[in-house]
Amino acid sequence: MQNFPASPVRYHLEVLVVDDDDLMSDVLAAHLEALGCKVASAASGEEALVLLAGKPVDLLVTDWQMPGMDGLELVRQVRAGRSEDSYLHVVMMTARNDEVVIRRAMEAGVDDFFFKPFEQVQLELAVQSAQRNRLLHRRLQRRNSLLEVAHRRTQEALERVRADLDAATALHERLLPTEGLVGALNFRHLYRPAAMLGGDSIGVSPLREGGALFFLIDVRGHGVPAALDSFHLHHRIKQLRPTSPRDLAQSLEAINREILDRGDESYATIACGLARPEREECWMVCAGHPRPLIAIDDKVLIPEVDYGMPVGWFDTASWKPTRFDFPPGARLVLYSDGVTECSNSAGQEFGVDRLVRTLASNAGKRIRDFVGALELGLLARRSSAGFEDDISLLVIENKIPEIQSA
């Protein structure tokens, strides 16, 4: 074996030499130590397995032909017993330089070969190859560790976001009106957001002098920003607490100014009104919102409500309150455009006409089933991805005859 000057290595490898020939083992150990490696020796495959189980090794150099467990079986067992992310460079020593031998060794997990008689340069090449691969492996492990930390932190942040969204969703649900009687008025709503949080909001507030304030808000967009605007407008209307037709118009004008003063691009459509069951009347303002419907017996009418611009568009916008009859037994239906624009797989919208037919055909049902029939019709159109827009609807029923008779 010809001697060459040793080349320095950048990383001191832990090496295990396995050979039943003590002289060959000592020679290899001397050369490897000259290359800066830390070397241990084993005289058999069985002894090598014991040593490998007790200490980390970067480079395994093993002879093929040995009594008992040969080098090929040793490599098979070593590879089988190590995890996928552990590193070990395996060099096989053999005098058999043919393709069949090489393929068998590669299949067992051998990375490199020494063909006897070998020269020192072969050893240097193998050591440097193992060194580079070990450094790359360590670098990859560090990066994987950093990725795991980043992934864990991202998951923790995501969990916090989910918890915040759950809390916001619960808050939004608490803003929805309590279903049932408020004085002589019976309320029922339908709310299906397109995302976890929606930009629609429904509100009902009893009036001290009888009747109730009601409103339905549809804020531009979906998700958290729209939901925050919706929360604000919901509380703002209740804070302004309009109790007269003039108050309705002035409340929308105040909200319009506030949105425009913010200087962002947000806007909303709002249907807001006062229901007076004892007087058998409603007063309403519509700011860009779909006009309401009135279901009386099996007829569905569209009241002539003055239609104004959405809030947040123009500083000169104004709204005119409109009165319409609200007789005993009548049901007032407010809805967002998500209801009429709900499309099936063919792209056909639910539409106002279908909404009117659905309400008319279910007019004789109790208010819960009345709303439920409409909900089933909309759910039948929902895609696997959910609704494209928030679905919101409020039904107000004048129960004055039943209340008075009771």
Extents of the domains making up the chain: 14-143, 176-405
Measured distance CA(150)–CA(276) in Å, rounded: 59
Structure tokens at 287: 């700011």
Nearest CA to 36 out of 134, 112, 114, 115 is that of 134
Nearest CA to 7 out of 131, 134, 124, 132 is that of 124
Same fold, 14-143 and 176-405: no
Nearest CA to 18 out of 93, 105, 77 is that of 93
Measured distance CA(32)–CA(325) in Å, rounded: 101
Q: Kindly give the parts of the chain with pLDDT less than 50.
A: 1-2, 4-9, 405-406
200-217: burial string, b at 16+ Cβ within 10 Å, e else: bbbbbeebeeebbbbbbb
Give burial (CB, 10 Å; 0-12/13-18/19+) of 153.
exposed
* CATH entry 3.60.40.10 includes domain 176-405: yes
Q: Which helix (H) or strand (E) holds 23?
A: helix 22-34
Q: What local confidence, expressed as pLDDT, does residue 263 receive?
A: 85
Model pTM?
0.66
| Longest CA–CA separation in the chain, Å | 117
Q: Which fold has domain 14-143?
A: Rossmann fold (3.40.50)
Q: What local confidence, expressed as pLDDT, does residue 4 receive?
A: 43
